[in-house]
A and B are shown apart, each in its own frame.
Chain A
């Protein structure tokens, strides 16, 4: 117990734990839609698209996370626009945009001739969360949870039967854009925890693990949210006690959960065959 309570005396650990739990909620709630709609590449694309926004914000002395937010939102809107009415396949747009944004980021970095260490943005540093960051993460999380609760039935129908949703008058293109924007917001919160490169793991791995142990939507969502929060907290403790990278610790905790769920499912399948 002492081992659990001892780090809590530090303000930065308290902020990190709170931030990690909020990130866990926003990322895993959207992760359910990402996994069930089979658009995990979109999360990947959005996380990788943050780079030019970060660099531009750095060049003009602005907030790096705001820069990341603008870049991911722009990418989300472009993916939605390009794949509207299937003019370009969604996965094609998803494949194109991050490479273009990444190239733009690299170009901007080379033009600044700066060697500033951006590893905290790329790999996360949840122990460095400031009070301002915490407020931003909290506001974004409340917004995401609010929209998902209010539009739960529409998002569910959009995922399960897009054409039927359209026939009853739902504008599925708008709904898709809203989902992409929410995804961008959650990615930005995730960047603080696990960094631009690893954030997609928070969206995908816990839901993929939960999908192995339950095939009902509500238990799946609860399991994924709980698992992500536990992994985020465990990652913070690992980082504190062993001096490990917080982002990598969180993602590897998620991977461990996935491994346990995979083993559970395998045993269950073998039992049912006997």
Chain B
């Protein structure tokens, strides 16, 4: 990380605590500002390191909210979260969230390579610029997703499947240990689906922890070690 590093948040980046689970959630509840109904109610969960877990549930069950809570996009009203045994914020560089509908402005004049490189910003913090090794990591990720030919293309010119692969490439570039993937196989073409599945398997062999929200658990059962079922903002079963 180098001697000169000004982190984006008030916590310094901390190392994981040995033996701590990748994600530990205790009794969290959360709701959106303009809604009275809580989107999550007293959810408790522990995801061990290196596991691949499916988060299953119908629309509105709270899958995306759970991911947003863990990635600091929605605030919890009660409860506690630890990531790799560290308090919230200290290990956020080890978490990456791939949303179902990204907030990316695809019309912004930016190349695919530049967007993928934003995945390295968390390691740079304020005032530092990209280095050769950051570019190397970005090219590796583009190659893993078979999109190195798109590197210099403007993001406005990408198809839906290509956009999904670019966002996964950015997630890989961040080199996170806990990946929260919201319906990564939904509404993508067969080629993208195959590549994403290959990447998920590769992440598993590298010891990364993945929590994947899915509607189609029955079809994808072989991809996961276990499943957590959510309904109406509450956990109903964990298998």
A residues touching B (Cβ–Cβ < 8 Å)? 36, 85-87, 150-151, 153-154, 156-157, 159-164, 166-171, 211, 214-217, 220
Contacts and interface: CB of A to CB of B under 8 A. Distances in A.
A160 B108 contact: yes
Contact of A150 (B7, B102, B109, B127): B127
13 contacts: A153-B118, A153-B121, A154-B126, A157-B118, A161-B102, A161-B104, A164-B103, A164-B118, A167-B73, A169-B7, A169-B93, A170-B9, A171-B8
B104 to A, nearest CB: 5
Interface residues of B, number: 37
A169 B102 contact: no
A156 B110 contact: yes
Contact of A87 (B33, B104, B127, B170): B33
Given A85-B33, A161-B103, A215 B156 contact: yes
A157 B121 contact: yes
Contacts of A216: 109, 111, 154
A164 B121 CA distance: 10
Interface of B: 7-9, 11, 33, 71-73, 89, 92-93, 95-97, 99, 102-105, 108-111, 114-115, 118, 121-122, 124, 126-127, 129-130, 154, 156, 170, 174
Given A159-B108, A160-B110, A164-B104, 15 more contacts: A36-B105, A153-B118, A159-B105, A160-B118, A161-B102, A167-B95, A168-B8, A168-B122, A168-B174, A169-B89, A170-B8, A211-B109, A216-B111, A217-B108, A217-B114
A93 to B, nearest CB: 15
Contacts of A171: 8-9
A164 B98 CA distance: 9
Contact of B105 (A151, A160, A166, A168): A160
Given A86-B33, A87-B33, A153-B124, A162 B109 contact: no
Contacts of B105: 36, 159-161
A226 B121 CA distance: 30
A220 B126 CA distance: 24
A211 B115 CA distance: 19
Instruction: Across the A-B interface, give the 10 residue pairs with the lowest CB-CB distance, nearest first.
Output: A169-B9, A169-B8, A163-B103, A168-B122, A167-B71, A160-B108, A161-B104, A170-B8, A217-B109, A215-B109
B35 to A, nearest CB: 13
A78 B231 CA distance: 40
B127 A168 contact: no
Nearest to A38: B105
Contacts of B103: 161-164
Given A168-B92, A169-B9, A216-B154, A163 B109 contact: no
B89 A166 contact: no
B213 to A, nearest CB: 16
B109 A161 contact: no
Nearest to A162: B103
Contacts of A161: 102-105, 115, 118
Given A160-B108, A160-B110, A161-B118, A168 B93 contact: yes
B5 to A, nearest CB: 12
A171 B92 CA distance: 13
Looking at B109, B111, B118, B129, which has the most chain A CB atoms within 10 Å of its CB? B109
Nearest to A153: B121
